[in-house]
Amino acid sequence: MPIFTNSTGWILATRSTAYALGLNDAGALTHCYWGPRLPDLADYPPPPSPGGWSSFNLPAQLTPEEFPGYTGNTFIEPCLKVTFADGVRNVVLGYVGATILPGPVPTLAITLEDGFYPLRVTLLYRLYEAYDLLERAVRIENLGTEPMLIERIWSALWHLPQDGRYRLRHMVGRHLDEAILRHEPLSEGVKRLESRRLASSHHHSPWFAVDRDPAIDLGQGADEGTGEVWFGALAWSGNWQIAAEVTDFGSTRIGLGLNDWDFAWRLGAGETFTTPVSYAGYTAAGFGAMSRCWHTFIREVILPGARQVQKVFYNSWEATHFDVDEASQIDLAAIAASLGVELFVLDDGWFAGRNDDTAALGDWRPDPHKFPHGLTPLIRRVHELGMAFGLWIEPEMVSPKSELYRTHPDWVLHFPTRARTESRHQLILNLARPDVQDHLIAQFDRLLTEQSIDFIKWDMNRNVSEPGWPAAPGEPREVWVRYIEGVYRVWGTLRERHPHVVWQNCSGGGGRVDLGLMRLADQFQLSDNIDPTRFLAMQEGFSQIFPANTMHAWVADLPASHLSLRFRFHVSMCGILGLGGHLAQWTPEERDEAAALIAQYKTIRTLVQFGALYRLRSPQRHAFAAVLYVAPDRSEAVLFAFRTHLPAQTRLPPLRLQGLDPQRHYTIEGQPEVRSGAAWMHLGLHLHLDDFASCVVQIRQV
């Protein structure tokens, strides 16, 4: 059992890391340790009981509390803020007891209660020992007879070792330009990242990585292969917040949870509220090890279809946009099948009245002009061609020009006295409402029951405005959370009823990529940007946490581009390969080349989708970039290298491989020698690539 107790508290040990907490002399539940697993239980420090500093800074302010309520004069970012029925806004939590629940995922539940008000808080810690990850969540109960209002409740506060100097790595971006990495020093104050968009968003992402600057202020720290990194994420697809705080006394902590902006939750008598979960981990082996830790965990624990190989797909959106019909789609399907595509996806434009983006969302039946016999003939043909059939839907949205909106104008998020702001000519259905959820479940359940659909692309093409819920039965500001719970319920129910369907998560590309939806969706669309050099950069950003078998990137048409088809394919082959070009307009030579590249992908995709990823050179920082995927048993690997533009006469640096067995010997395609893994990793190999060229190189143990 990896949860140990000692005289003051608990040590939660995973395979190679440990996290300790306990009760200090003042009885406060205090963080003690987070880092490498130590040999003896006695090695872990006791809970700190700091003295005060002056009358302006009392001991409580210097104590690294595990889950501080808003109280006293601590002035730090609290995890919990509640207003009681009498108007008191002050939470004083005291330790009551703890329970350890054994099992495959052992759990420690620590109960805290307010000394005066009937409020119980349970901190839940679950240990994924083999994955070196810890999960935290919080349950809060109203034990009294009067309601209370929760105004902030975070899932976790993750404390870093005292007095370190840290840098925060996170992701920024926007629609068409997702997943740009930032890395910045943390200093006194609060660095806040958040979403207020009702989706986790293209702009920031609910995860963090923090590395330690070993030489204070030199700006050095971890890199891909070395250095200490603490990392975490929130499994939530709506408004979230990360607050990276460095206190005036040098304590660094990262709080994360639901965004408290415009949030309130009325907790009635006897009611319970449980937060989304936060996962976190530690490694001493740099950002690469961090990512591989996430990848294994996501593949084996989070993803619903673990170890399912993702098919090579064709999606006709970039080729035909809304201009779809039975004949043209069958033509495209036939070409796709001849190239070796395994999944054909019909995107937007297939449903009644959908000729552009101004109408029809909500009316989910085939357009009678485009598909006079419904979708059945197309689906049958796609299956006859040996491919699976996929369909695009956008369940959460409604067009004002639709039957659904005419029947239920009150079903959208809105304030009755305000105009309803449209975005892409659409409004958002209020999925906080159970009747709206039931309607969507019934609609799509029928579609999936009546049609032989193997794959669904679930899109979401706008963010929120006027987040009103006029007929809310209780506190309308609960809408932020109830909406996302509604999405999870609709998606989860459909998934349960149609277990053979593979689900793709898309929100104008990568606008809602998070661990919450990853429990329901098998893969996500990286971006609406179709430029492969941007895909490359985004793959690096998203791969910080998400594995290659979740990342789809398609090869689209780039008419005036200097990028070859081969380069474009190679980029998409770094994840789930897909095609999005107008295949009917491709030349016979292009189709032959595409067929050969698809065949090549099929021989390496298990390695790509399930191998250990090593980012050898960053495309966000270098014009010569490379990634390597190594088989779990290290018997083979595949290397991708890309050169964009570098001055002529540039000598490319050697690519030093990683992750091979130093003792075993390997051959590398295109290299005459057989060498030890140690040699390939220390000396590397020289590649010769021209501008805008790429290569895929197979590596095999001899």
Q: 471-489 in b/e burial notation, b at 16+ Cβ within 10 A?
A: eeeebbbbbbbbbbbbbbb
Cβ 357 to ligand DGJ, closest distance in Å? 6
361 forms part of the interface with ligand DGJ (CB under 6 A)? no
Q: Which two tokens stand for residue 110?
A: 């620590």
- Cα-Cα-Cα-Cα dihedral sign, residues 406, 410, 416, 418: negative
Catalytic residue among 211, 347, 454, 528: 528
- Looking at the Cβ atoms of 517 and 637, the one nearer to ligand DGJ is 517
- Looking at the Cβ atoms of 506 and 520, the one nearer to ligand DGJ is 506
CA atoms of 45 and 252, how far apart (whole Å): 18
CA atoms of 463 and 469, how far apart (whole Å): 16
| Region of 276-284, 474-482, 505-513, 593-601 interacting with ligand DGJ (CB under 6 A) | 505-513
201 forms part of the interface with ligand DGJ (CB under 6 A)? no
392 forms part of the interface with ligand DGJ (CB under 6 A)? yes
Cα–Cα nearest to 304, from 440, 539, 498, 447: 498
DSSP state, residue 200: S
Cβ 461 to ligand DGJ, closest distance in Å? 5
82: Cβ–Cβ under 8 A, 6 or more apart, which residues?
69, 70, 89, 91, 119, 148, 149, 150, 151
Query: Can you tell me whether residue 130 is helix, strand or coil?
Result: helix
508 forms part of the interface with ligand DGJ (CB under 6 A)? yes
Residue nearest ligand DGJ, CB atom distance:
348
CA atoms of 485 and 517, how far apart (whole Å): 11
Q: Identify residues 223-242 at the interface with ligand DGJ (CB under 6 A).
A: none
Contact criterion met (CB below 8 Å) for 207 and 544: yes
CA atoms of 116 and 271, how far apart (whole Å): 18
Classify residue 656 by burial, with Cβ atoms within 10 Å: 0-12, 13-18, 19+: middle
Q: Which two tokens stand for residue 44?
A: 């872990």
Cβ 158 to ligand DGJ, closest distance in Å? 33
- Looking at the Cβ atoms of 194 and 347, the one nearer to ligand DGJ is 347
Contact criterion met (CB below 8 Å) for 273 and 153: yes
| Region of 85-93, 94-102, 332-340, 503-511 interacting with ligand DGJ (CB under 6 A) | 503-511
Cβ 507 to ligand DGJ, closest distance in Å? 7
Element (H, E) at 602: helix 588-610
Cβ 454 to ligand DGJ, closest distance in Å? 17
CA atoms of 636 and 621, how far apart (whole Å): 27
How many residues are recorded in the chain? 702
Cβ 215 to ligand DGJ, closest distance in Å? 44
Spell out the long-range contacts of 601-604 with Cβ–Cβ below 8 A and sequence spacing 24 or more.
Answer: 601/312, 601/569, 601/573, 601/577, 602/312, 602/340, 604/573, 604/629, 604/638, 604/696, 604/698
| Region of 77-85, 504-512, 538-546, 671-679 interacting with ligand DGJ (CB under 6 A) | 504-512
| Region of 28-36, 367-375, 427-435, 502-510 interacting with ligand DGJ (CB under 6 A) | 502-510
348 forms part of the interface with ligand DGJ (CB under 6 A)? yes
Q: 316, 461, 523, 572: which one contacts ligand DGJ (CB under 6 A)?
A: 461
Q: 22, 255, 509, 578: which one contacts ligand DGJ (CB under 6 A)?
A: 509
- Looking at the Cβ atoms of 231 and 314, the one nearer to ligand DGJ is 314
User: Active site includes 528?
Assistant: yes
Cβ 363 to ligand DGJ, closest distance in Å? 15
Q: Identify residues 90-149 at the interface with ligand DGJ (CB under 6 A).
A: none
Classify residue 118 by burial, with Cβ atoms within 10 Å: 0-12, 13-18, 19+: middle
319 forms part of the interface with ligand DGJ (CB under 6 A)? no
Cβ 506 to ligand DGJ, closest distance in Å? 5
- Looking at the Cβ atoms of 348 and 522, the one nearer to ligand DGJ is 348
CA atoms of 609 and 630, how far apart (whole Å): 10
366 forms part of the interface with ligand DGJ (CB under 6 A)? no
506 forms part of the interface with ligand DGJ (CB under 6 A)? yes
Over its C-alpha atoms, the chain yields an Rg (Å, rounded) of 27
Convert residues 6-45 into a mask of x (bound to ligand DGJ by CB under 6 A) and - (unbound).
----------------------------------------
- Looking at the Cβ atoms of 235 and 506, the one nearer to ligand DGJ is 506
**Residues forming a β-bridge with 510:** 507
Q: What is the dihedral of CA 100, 81, 74, 65, to 10 degrees?
A: 10
510 forms part of the interface with ligand DGJ (CB under 6 A)? no
| Region of 82-90, 325-333, 360-368, 506-514 interacting with ligand DGJ (CB under 6 A) | 506-514
Catalytic residue among 260, 459, 514, 522: 459
**First and final C-alpha spacing in the chain:** 41
Q: What is the dihedral of CA 23, 27, 29, 33, to 10 degrees?
A: -40
642 forms part of the interface with ligand DGJ (CB under 6 A)? no
Cβ 258 to ligand DGJ, closest distance in Å? 26
Q: Identify residues 511-530 at the interface with ligand DGJ (CB under 6 A).
A: 525, 528
347 forms part of the interface with ligand DGJ (CB under 6 A)? yes
- Looking at the Cβ atoms of 347 and 363, the one nearer to ligand DGJ is 347
Size of the site for ligand DGJ (CB under 6 A): 11
Q: How many C-beta neighbours within 10 Å does residue 586 have?
A: 18
User: Active site includes 459?
Assistant: yes
Query: Can you tell me whether residue 282 is helix, strand or coil?
Result: strand
Interface with ligand DGJ (CB under 6 A): 317, 347-348, 392, 459, 461, 506, 508-509, 525, 528
Catalytic residues: 459, 528
